[in-house]
Chains A and B, each alone.
Chain A
Amino acid sequence: MNTRGLRSQLKDSVPVTGLCPQAGPYGVQDSLRRGFSSVKNELLPSHPLELSEKNFQLNQDKMNFNTLRNIQGLHAPLKLQMEYRAARQIQRLPFLPSSNLALDTLRGSDDTIGFEDFLNDPVQSEMMGDPHIMTEYKLGIL
């Protein structure tokens, strides 16, 4: 679990090969877990919107917390971030998709509908990780 703030979670580039993009714990490519890598595929984003979409939720949260801090003082975003952290920990087993109901309610996205609700719904994804490997990875045994 990343203990630092929102800023460090921003993905400000598509990972570059050779500069520890798919680095495992030993600093080399983690082919077992993340597959083969190629320079061409990873050097540039394939679409101008790709990066902004990847970071969209994070940027929205940052903006909202900043506004809240300016209006109500530092305690408001701090309390809310604590609640977000707690809600994010309510997950199902590592290989099953979670509904994130508590997180949705906190964010207020349980009464809005967007592209992420009917396009590429993770509940209907056709790929699933191998349960044993996923659990070992989560527990750090792998």
Chain B
Amino acid sequence: MATVSVCQYHPGGFSFENCKRNALLEADINKLGFSSPAARKTGTTICGVVYKDGVVLGADTRATEGMVVADKNCSKIHYISPNIYCCGAGTAADTEMTTQIISSNLELHSLSTGRLPRVATANRMLKQMLFRYQGYIGAALVLGGVDCNGPHLYSIYPHGSTDKLPYVTMGSGSLAAMAVFEDRYRPNMEEEEAKRLVRDAIAAGIFNDLGSGSNIDLCVISKGKVDYLRPHDVANKKGVRTGSYRYKHGTTGVLTKAVTPLSLEVVEENVQTMDTS
């Protein structure tokens, strides 16, 4: 009887052992008509803008799982270092773990150099990691911060390309937010004006995109100061019932009941899926 008696050394990290099994299971499940569980995404609106003294980052707070809202108040602005924050769109787990890994690496790096970390360093680390995994890590990020060279804002795509711009938007609601930016952005704004602009851009994404919703979070980063406003604006309050609908004691019970079914026929069926990416 042959057994595998010599164990090969596995260096750690991702293991691809189950890929073939998963592909087989996927094919079988689809034949039976069911669908495999979907990853939780953050169909999102995130954006950032550079103003006179620093950077304002904004995000909505809805996390979706297919067509269902999985989290009504999730936090999409992640901490990277005391002067750098990062908004994440795409698969929620990927953005969470990626930003945590880069935050740890930046901390070790800054302890090693003895200086406050720079935004360009975080950008370089993120893009090298995302390129290494060829887009399989679905994290689209807006990275902003203030370092010794001034305020910086980067947008990072899942395949590893980055852009350094004065205003950026990402997520499924990015087009709505970008429309607001293109209309009202001007260089060297004041802090209040920048906050209002970002708030309006995220609100545009929330009200015009199904994948974004709930509240607006804001993060204002300037030299030596970070304001993490969560929530900055509760745009969607849950409705309050105007009256009590309980029956009073002593209400008459039901005496008789007659049911007449109406026969209807389905004339037309129309399914539209929304793009939550």
Contacts and interface: CB of A to CB of B under 8 A. Distances in A.
A34 B2 CA distance: 9
A120 B12 CA distance: 5
A111 B101 contact: no
B108 A32 contact: no
A120 B13 contact: yes
A129 B14 contact: no
Interface residues of B, number: 28
A128 B14 contact: no
Given A48-B134, A113-B105, A128 B12 contact: no
Given A56-B132, A111-B108, A112-B105, A49 B16 contact: yes
A114 B101 contact: yes
Interface string B191-218: 0000000000000000000000000000
B5 A133 contact: yes
A112 B23 CA distance: 34
A117 B19 CA distance: 21
Q: Which of B11, B13, B132 has the most CB of A within 10 A?
A: B13
A35 B6 CA distance: 9
Contacts of B264: none
Contact of B109 (A31, A111, A116, A134): A111
Contact of A112 (B13, B14, B108): B108
Contacts of A119: 12-15
Given A46-B20, A113-B105, A114-B101, A122 B6 contact: no
A17 B270 CA distance: 50
Interface residues of A, number: 38
B136 A49 contact: yes
B14 A134 contact: no
Nearest to B2: A31
B10 interface: yes
Interface string B131-151: 011101000000000000000
23 contacts: A31-B2, A33-B4, A34-B4, A34-B6, A35-B2, A46-B23, A47-B19, A48-B134, A49-B133, A50-B19, A53-B13, A56-B132, A111-B109, A111-B112, A113-B104, A114-B13, A116-B11, A119-B15, A120-B12, A120-B14, A122-B12, A128-B7, A137-B6
Interface of A: 31-36, 41, 45-50, 52-53, 56-57, 95, 97, 111-117, 119-122, 125, 127-130, 133-134, 137
List of 9 A-B pairs having minimum Cβ-Cβ separation, nearest first: A129-B7, A116-B13, A116-B12, A46-B19, A35-B4, A31-B2, A33-B6, A133-B5, A47-B19
Interface of B: 2-7, 9-16, 19-20, 23, 101, 104-105, 108-109, 111-112, 132-134, 136
